[in-house]
Amino acid sequence: MEIKKIFVAGAGLMGGGIAQVCAQASYDVIMRDITDDILNKSLKTINWSVGKFVEKGKVAGTVDEIMGRLHVTTDLGAAAEADFVFEAIIENLEAKRALFAELDKLCPPHTIFGSNTSAIPVTEIAEATQRVPQVCGTHFFSPVPMMRAVEIVKGLGTSQETVEIADKLCQSIGKETIRVNLDVAGIVLNRLNFPSTIEAIKLVEAGVTTVEDIDKGMRLGFGRPMGPFETADMAGLDIGYNAMLAVYRETRDPKFHPPMLLQRKVKLGQLGRKTGIGWYRYDENGQKIGPAD
Ligand SMILES: NC(=O)c1ccc[n+]([C@@H]2O[C@H](COP(=O)([O-])OP(=O)(O)OC[C@H]3O[C@@H](n4cnc5c(N)ncnc54)[C@H](O)[C@@H]3O)[C@@H](O)[C@H]2O)c1
């Protein structure tokens, strides 16, 4: 099956990034969110990021050519033209199921759906549609234009053909794929990463060391581009918290239980870069200005 038109549901951190890499790879893209304000903000970010890629010669074409392939709308009906849908809306089972049920009615029979969920089993989302074999997980990492991995997740009813098509599509947009044969909460990479992030928070909670020193240590000692607190601030503390909780609920394994300090920060609305404060403080341009406390 040839994929020509891509529909991206959600213009937040992940949806915007997915739409960008698809447009950069010459696909026709329609990105949908619920308000024009959100879409315009996302377009501004994408335009800036595409500019950087063009400037460094990392993508073919001009900013105008790439942005010209990316259309935005608040109308879900625009999905009727899509060959493939990437879903990147809020991490909420009911919201995702409602969206997939609508998309199922609107999209042609051949359309394949890929969900970017980190923690909800794809099987539960797919079940809201009449096309269970054509629904899989396509789990990107943030920031999407920079991070090359995508987990291709097979739900219980996902067909092998769908997995192959999603895998090929993700490779065609410059990603390397990791095959995941069962839709466990947290998938594979977060299941590996969460215990380390949780331990980092516990070490700060216990006063053993600081947020900045852990981030510095993980950068300089393990060669990571960012430490766990910097990563959490970029992804959103609420996103990480909810994903940890979902993995804990599924596994009942205490190593995935979100620590108290993280829970308190989420309750306070200290969600990271998007709210100007998380583990660090940020200025109005999203630049880090110092520790939160
Ligand atoms: N943030 C990360 O680092 C990260 C990493 C991997 C996966 N994910 C997953 O990706 C998904 C999106 O996360 P995000 O960080 O981009 O969230 P976000 O909050 O930045 O964006 C979500 C967007 O979805 C929109 N939305 C809500 N309902 C919608 C609907 N019915 N149709 C279209 N848009 C709708 C919201 O208005 C919002 O703009 C979640 O499932 C999340 O768990 C996030």
Q: Is 90 exceeded by the pLDDT of residue 178?
A: yes
| pLDDT at residue 293, rounded to an integer | 83
Average pLDDT (126-150) is 97
Instruction: Say if ligand 1 is within 6 A of residue 233 CB.
Output: no
Average pLDDT (144-161) is 97
Q: In angstroms, rounded to a whole number, what is the distance separating the alpha carbons of residues 182 and 122?
A: 9
Tokens of 102: 């609508």
Residues 42 and 131 in one domain: yes
Instruction: Say if ligand 1 is within 6 A of residue 12 CB.
Output: yes
Q: In angstroms, rounded to a whole number, what is the distance separating the alpha carbons of residues 66 and 50?
A: 8
Domain that holds residue 281: 189-291
Give the domain-ending residue among 123, 158, 180: 180
Tokens of 121: 């089993």
Q: What are phi and psi of 202, to 5 degrees?
A: -65, -35
Q: In angstroms, rounded to a whole number, what is the distance separating the alpha carbons of residues 125 and 89?
A: 13
Q: The domain that contains 220 carries what CATH number? A: 1.10.1040.10
List own/partner pairs for 21-24 with CB under 8 A and 24 or more apart.
21/144, 21/145, 21/173, 21/174, 21/175, 22/86, 22/173, 23/50, 23/66, 23/67, 23/69, 23/70, 24/50, 24/53, 24/59, 24/66, 24/145, 24/173, 24/174
Q: Which amino acid is at 81?
A: E
Give the domain-ending residue among 180, 208, 233: 180
Q: The domain that contains 40 carries what CATH number? A: 3.40.50.720
Q: In terms of Cα–Cα distance, which of 289, 272, 213 is closest to 237?
A: 272
| pLDDT at residue 166, rounded to an integer | 98
Q: Is 90 exceeded by the pLDDT of residue 285?
A: no
DSSP state, residue 74: S
Residues 149 and 253 in one domain: no
Tens-digit pLDDT profile for residues 48-65: 999 999 999 999 999 999
Percent of the chain with pLDDT over 90: 96
Matching residue, tokens 């010459």: 26
Residues 141 and 257 in one domain: no
Residues 161 and 132 in one domain: yes
Ligand 1 atom nearest 96 alpha carbon: 31
| pLDDT at residue 24, rounded to an integer | 98
Ligand 1 atom 6 nearest Cα: 141
Matching residue, tokens 């038109």: 5
Question: What are the DSSP E strand ranges found in 128-278?
Answer: 135-140, 149-153, 176-180
Instruction: Say if ligand 1 is within 6 A of residue 90 CB.
Output: yes
Instruction: Say if ligand 1 is within 6 A of residue 38 CB.
Output: yes
Residues 172 and 198 in one domain: no
User: What does the mean pLDDT of the chain come to?
Assistant: 96
Q: In angstroms, rounded to a whole number, what is the distance separating the alpha carbons of residues 169 and 1?
A: 11
Residues 145 and 214 in one domain: no
Cβ(86)–Cβ(25) below 8 Å: no
Give the count of domains, the chain.
Answer: 2
- Consecutive H or E run containing 237: helix 237-251
Ligand 1 atom nearest 98 alpha carbon: 31
Confidence of residue 80 (pLDDT cuts 50, 70, 90): very high
> The whole model's pTM is what?
0.94
Q: How many residues are given for the chain? A: 293
Give the domain-ending residue among 121, 155, 180: 180
Q: Is 90 exceeded by the pLDDT of residue 129?
A: yes
Residues 83 and 100 in one domain: yes
Residues 236 and 118 in one domain: no
Q: In angstroms, rounded to a whole number, what is the distance separating the alpha carbons of residues 230 and 177?
A: 25
Q: In terms of Cα–Cα distance, which of 259, 275, 253 is closest to 211?
A: 259
| pLDDT at residue 271, rounded to an integer | 97
Residues 19 and 113 in one domain: yes
Residues 200 and 113 in one domain: no
Confidence of residue 89 (pLDDT cuts 50, 70, 90): very high
Residues 173 and 199 in one domain: no
| pLDDT at residue 96, rounded to an integer | 97
Residues 123 and 17 in one domain: yes
